[in-house]
Amino acid sequence: MKSPYDQRIKEHPEDAKAYYERGVYFLEEPTTLDLAKKDFWRCIDLGDFIADSYSNLALIYDMENDPSQAQVLLEKAVEADPEHTVSWFALGTLHSIYGNHEQALYALARVLAIEMDFHEEDEYLEEDVSFSMEAFALRARIYLEKNENALALAECQASRAFDAEQNECDLLEIVALVRLNQTKEAKKLLQTLLNDEEITLENLKEHPVFSELQEFL
């Protein structure tokens, strides 16, 4: 399959950036994933875009239902670049899906530690995207699964302190409050969400936590 990068690679066969960009281009279509793999492996052989290439290879293997290989590649990505938050977050998500709670919590903690450093220094994240709010929410969800409700509540409160406007933990916080018998605070938070139209009862019925809140509502 032809791509906009073929001529550039033909003229400059050691141009890792061209291989990487072509790999991303091939990544867009399920029928060209094998071509994307070849280009990302070529980048690694050339010694450039290593963490990004491993991360994208992990994505491909995950799409191909090979989570064990995806995990191996994500671990190689963070070994190549210990501050590669995309890979840390993907690793945390992967571990959480398969119930590896401690590994997931560690990976997500790395996301937060890295991004907090950028946040405190008012720097722009290299990946041009932040995973902090999602990391807080996923950590809170894991603690709820472990029935460590006080820790789940702490994650939710930390999320709000980090960025109150983009908080993804509100409903998880309500669950934690209910489990901790802090029903007054839970009702107050839920009413605030309803009043601010951040959520509706109809939307709430579709949320994974609804079954646990149904009696409370």
Q: Which domain holds residue 63?
A: 1-77
Query: Would 214 be classed as within a structural domain?
Result: no
- Asked if residue 9 has pLDDT above 50, the reply is yes
Query: Would 134 be classed as within a structural domain?
Result: no
Specify the number of domains making up the chain: 1
Query: Would 176 be classed as within a structural domain?
Result: no
Query: Would 13 be classed as within a structural domain?
Result: yes
- Asked if residue 129 has pLDDT above 70, the reply is no
The set of long-range contacts for 88-95, using a CB threshold of 8 Å and a minimum separation of 24, is 88/114, 88/131, 89/131, 89/134, 89/135, 90/55, 90/58, 90/59, 92/135, 92/138, 93/138, 94/62, 94/67, 94/70, 95/71
What tens digit of pLDDT does each residue of 137-181 get? 999 999 999 999 999 999 999 998 887 777 778 889 999 999 999
Query: Would 33 be classed as within a structural domain?
Result: yes
Query: Would 109 be classed as within a structural domain?
Result: no
Query: Would 148 be classed as within a structural domain?
Result: no
What CATH number is associated with residue 20? 1.25.40.10
